[in-house]
Each structure stands twice: as structure tokens, then as C-alpha cells.
Amino acid sequence: MPIKFKSYLQAKAGYKGGKSKPTVPDGKKIYKLSSNENMLGSSPKAIAAIQAQLSNLSEYPDHNDERFRLALQEFYGGLLRANQFITTNSGVANIELILRGFLEEGTECIFSNPAFGPYRGFPKKMGATSIDVPLIGDTFQLDVNGILNAVNKKTRLVFVTNPNNPTGTHLPKAHIDALVNGLPDHVVLIYDEVYYQYVQARDYVRALPYVLAGKNVIGINSFSKAYGLAGLRVGYSYSTPRIAEYLQQLRIPFMIDSLSMTGAIAALKDTEFIQQTVQLIHKEKAYLYAAFDQMGVKYWKTQANFILIKPLIDSKEFEALALEEGIMVRPADNFGAPGCVRVTIGTRAANDAFINAWKKILSAG
């Protein structure tokens, strides 16, 4: 008898991440503006803590994540208890852990394009079906009524990202209130807030107040963006004690290595680095807005550390031409934003290089 494979794992459900920096023989400067990384580097406190830990690499890391969860409890000022956190080796791993906890064959989840790829693809790994209720119009607003109408007895999860990736736009509190209050008790809202540090909108809301109110909400966070620790792969989520303790059962021993856990805990205390990072993004996005307006670039104002733009040429062609000029950008077609490109807000040098590359590409066309 042949091996029996799960049919739903034959589908292409994987997530294709951003490209790594290419090796350039002539030493040409490459600005990587394709993965929303921190252009200032990593949290200095995290680096110092990691360096101090290097002599202990022969020893196993913490068997569990209690030390990490206690640090998160302190970071949230005691509003959340340690048993309300689920830590994993990356935000994407946290997403998959949640899906394993709630999805199975015959179940459904709802997401809204343009959206982060795993929300569309990862449920297939569980044999579940992903239902797309697209964001509305050119402002990418949440179709609350459309989502609520799509919910049925098979629905287990609804995904929202706020600020959204790849659009950079935010979902106002009134819309989230309506969604949370309208979902039936058997549905959990997955609230991806990994870019929350950059938000300036006054009507923005995090997952926290809904969790504190006992709602079926899970807030997802990552250390890859503002803290500049993408290479360590550390993420966490938080929810009600009942949901969090249930998901904790899916973690494996030694899930997070000693360097990653030590670095993340130290990064939580590096408020100065976060302030510098946020100040850079706010200053430089205004600089890019002005340049884009002058050049007639189609773009969407952002609440994150990246900007969605729409070149006058094919997005893949633009990606290739930009790389020739030393700029890495991310086509957003696979995110559900055809013809658009996502560019990370960089330092002034990186942003000037991008503007010059755009001008050169435009003049050549």
C-alpha cells in the first residue's frame, strides 16, 4: 500500500518571504527596502545582552518561556498576566500555532485582501478554506458587514491586520468595535498589530482593550520590525487566559533559543531605541510624501514603516529596474495589490537613493 499523503498538503500553501540582499561583486551599495526591517539596525540593549550570553551556547536554553512571559507582563504594566502570552520563534510561527489550535478539515477562516500572505495560504495546511472578503475601495477600509455575512457555523477565525500590510492603512476603532461585537462566540479574531509602534492616527486601537474585556481576540506581535531583531525570529501573541493557556499546549520544549529570548527580553526595555526608530519613520515618510507629490507618484499614506506605491510600469519590471539602481523593493501582487510595490521607509540616504532611482526609471520609460 502506498504512503497516504494528506491531499490538502499537496497544494502550494507556503509563504514566500522577501528576497535576501544579492551579492554584488563590484561592491555596489544595495539598499534593502523590501522587507520592512529597521534601517537603524538592532536594539543596542538586545545586542549587548546577546553578546553576554555567547559564552553559554553549550547549554540548553530555558525549557519553557516563563522568563519571557514574565518580562512581557512587566512590559504591559501588569494589565496582562504571564499566562496570557504565547511566545514563539517568529510572528509567522505564532500564526501557524494559532491555526493548528483552531483549524481542521472542513473549517473556514476569513481574511481581507490586500493582506499578509500567510492568512490566505497557511490555513490550507490544516485542510481549512480561506474566504476572502476584500478591503473596500481605494482607501482599503474593512468590509465589516461583508465579513459578518460571510461567517457561518464552519467559521473559526477572522484575520485583520492593523496597520495593514501591504497597504500601510489603518482600520479605525469604530470598525473594529463593530466587528468584535458582531462576531459570534465560536469565532476568534486574529488581530495582527506588528506595526503598532508607528501609528499616529488618533482613532487607532490595539487588540489590548478587547482582550481585557474578555473578547475572543488574539493580538499578534513581532520583534522583527521596530526592535530590529528580524534575524532572531521572535514573536508573541496575547489573549484571554482561556485562549492563551489552550494555545500554550501546542508549544514545544526549548522553542526559543537562548540568544533570541535574551535579546527579546532586553529589547523590551530599550525605549530609547524605539523612540529613535519611530522618529526616523515619521520624519522620513513626510520627506517621501513631498518627493512623491512633486514627481506625481501614486501612493497611499501610511501608519507603518513602509509605503505602498503604484508605478506606471509592471511591478515586477519596476522591481528589476530598481535593483539595477541598488534598491530592493517588494512587488505587492502576491499580497492582493496587483501592480503595486511596497517600499520600506529608510534613512535619508536610502530614501534619496530610492527617489533618484525612481526618477531614472521614469525618464528611461
Q: What is the pTM of this model?
A: 0.93
Structural domain for 37, as ranges: 18-42+271-364
User: Is 60 in the same domain as 34?
Assistant: no
Among 267, 301, 324, give the residue marking a domain's end. Answer: 267
Q: How far apart are CA 297 and CA 307, in angstroms?
A: 12
User: Is 143 in the same domain as 283?
Assistant: no
Query: Is the per-residue pLDDT at 5 higher than 80?
Result: no
* Dihedral over alpha carbons 48, 54, 55, 60 (to 10 degrees): 130
**Does residue 331 belong to any structural domain of this protein?**
yes
Among 242, 267, 292, give the residue marking a domain's end. Answer: 267
What pLDDT, on the 0 to 100 scale, is given for residue 365? Answer: 57
Residues paired with residue 348 on neighbouring β-strands, in sequence order: none
Which range in 24-33, 58-67, 313-322, 355-364 is most confidently predicted, on average pLDDT?
313-322
* CATH assignment at residue 27: 3.90.1150.10
User: Is 185 in the same domain as 113?
Assistant: yes
**Does residue 13 belong to any structural domain of this protein?**
no
User: Is 175 in the same domain as 197?
Assistant: yes
User: Is 164 in the same domain as 252?
Assistant: yes
**Does residue 6 belong to any structural domain of this protein?**
no
What pLDDT, on the 0 to 100 scale, is given for residue 223? Answer: 95
How many separate domains does the chain show?
A: 2
* CA–centroid distance for 132 within its chain: 18
